[in-house]
Homo-oligomer: A and B are copies of this chain.
């Protein structure tokens, strides 16, 4: 049996600010033979997320920190090419922490077989999966969002934010979207149905919120932190709930930035800030997926992919998130799309 050559990005150094190509090292290695219970997966899609940056720090987060020299951690979708496990067979399509590499040798139990959906495989990263679960449960469970309430979403043109905006609309909320740049704001307003948009590159967020939320804010879906969260806190209504999904403004600072000064308002308004991580909702994935697919097929839930081709492009793809230059969910494509057994595949928008 001939040895399989693997290529991978390894963590070479920890970034002080935004991650750069210099933080990664490209290595070729020979894959080990499989042990019992292991499978070899060939990566098709890698999901590039703000959380990749968190994993590069010299500190444990909700997952243990990555050691220098290890293959960069990343969520991927791939196909089983070899199996020494009874539960996963060659050809099965799985999702898991495949890492930034062409092949992943993994215990089968660390991977989950993807259910068939009437959409391309990439929808698992653009609409469903961790992105969709985060937006769906962040709003419905963490923030207890209700029809008629005013929702503010920051980083609203991002992968999670754009779904949160549309879930809010599908739930019957009034949705205010904060994003950077006229094109993103146009998209949010005209295509995703946001009731009001705030372009933080053109307008002070606090002033924008005063204009867009004259009656205050019931629910915040917070992806940014820092001044954005502070501006939201400044306008919360009685009993407001803020789902703390991300703090992308904080990830590239080696010293944490001072947080919100408007915290006293949380007290006055009996408000709540609740952090959450999608891992806590994996057992309810089916519930969210059914809703999201149904809304999408009915034309009420759009998603956009920002696809880079080839594993080599992964570091540059990650950097897009922090430069704010991506338009949609950032993915790296390593192999051909492979449709689960259905002819009714629907292309994503845009």
A residues near B (Cβ < 8 Å) are: 61-62, 225, 229-230, 244-247, 250-251, 255-264, 266-277, 280
Q: Output the least CB separation between A62 and chain B (Å).
A: 5
A61 proximity list for chain B (CB < 8 A): 268
The answer to whether A256 and B247 have CB atoms under 8 Å apart is: no
CA distance A274 to B269 in the complex (A): 10
Q: Output the least CB separation between A114 and chain B (Å).
A: 26
Q: Output the least CB separation between A64 and chain B (Å).
A: 12
CB closest residue in chain B, given A240 = B275
A245 proximity list for chain B (CB < 8 A): 267
CB closest residue in chain B, given A279 = B270
A62 proximity list for chain B (CB < 8 A): 268-269
A262 proximity list for chain B (CB < 8 A): 256, 259
The answer to whether A275 and B272 have CB atoms under 8 Å apart is: yes
The answer to whether A266 and B273 have CB atoms under 8 Å apart is: yes
The answer to whether A246 and B267 have CB atoms under 8 Å apart is: yes
The answer to whether A247 and B267 have CB atoms under 8 Å apart is: yes
A263 proximity list for chain B (CB < 8 A): 225, 229, 244, 247, 250, 256, 259-260, 273
The answer to whether B258 and A259 have CB atoms under 8 Å apart is: yes
CB closest residue in chain B, given A229 = B263
A268 proximity list for chain B (CB < 8 A): 61-62, 275, 277
CA distance A263 to B260 in the complex (A): 9
CB closest residue in chain B, given A277 = B270
The answer to whether A273 and B270 have CB atoms under 8 Å apart is: no
* Contact (A256, B246) CB under 8 Å given A272-B273, A277-B270: no
A266 proximity list for chain B (CB < 8 A): 244, 273, 275
A260 proximity list for chain B (CB < 8 A): 259-260, 263
The answer to whether B275 and A274 have CB atoms under 8 Å apart is: no
Q: Output the least CB separation between A256 and chain B (Å).
A: 4
CB closest residue in chain B, given A225 = B263
- Nearest first, the 8 closest Cβ-Cβ pairs linking A and B are A258-B258, A256-B261, A267-B275, A266-B275, A259-B263, A259-B259, A259-B260, A272-B274
CA distance A271 to B274 in the complex (A): 6
Q: Output the least CB separation between A287 and chain B (Å).
A: 19
The answer to whether B264 and A270 have CB atoms under 8 Å apart is: no
CA distance A267 to B269 in the complex (A): 21
A280 proximity list for chain B (CB < 8 A): 270
The answer to whether A259 and B261 have CB atoms under 8 Å apart is: yes
CA distance A244 to B255 in the complex (A): 25
A276 proximity list for chain B (CB < 8 A): 267, 270
The answer to whether B264 and A250 have CB atoms under 8 Å apart is: yes
The answer to whether B258 and A261 have CB atoms under 8 Å apart is: yes
With A225-B263, A244-B263, A270-B276 given, can you name 10 additional A-B contacts, CB distance below 8 Å?
A229-B263, A244-B267, A246-B267, A247-B264, A256-B261, A266-B275, A270-B275, A272-B273, A272-B275, A273-B273
A272 proximity list for chain B (CB < 8 A): 272-275
CA distance A101 to B105 in the complex (A): 78
Give the residue among A225, A244, A269, A271 with the most B Cβ atoms within 10 A.
A244
Q: Output the least CB separation between A328 and chain B (Å).
A: 23
The answer to whether B261 and A257 have CB atoms under 8 Å apart is: yes
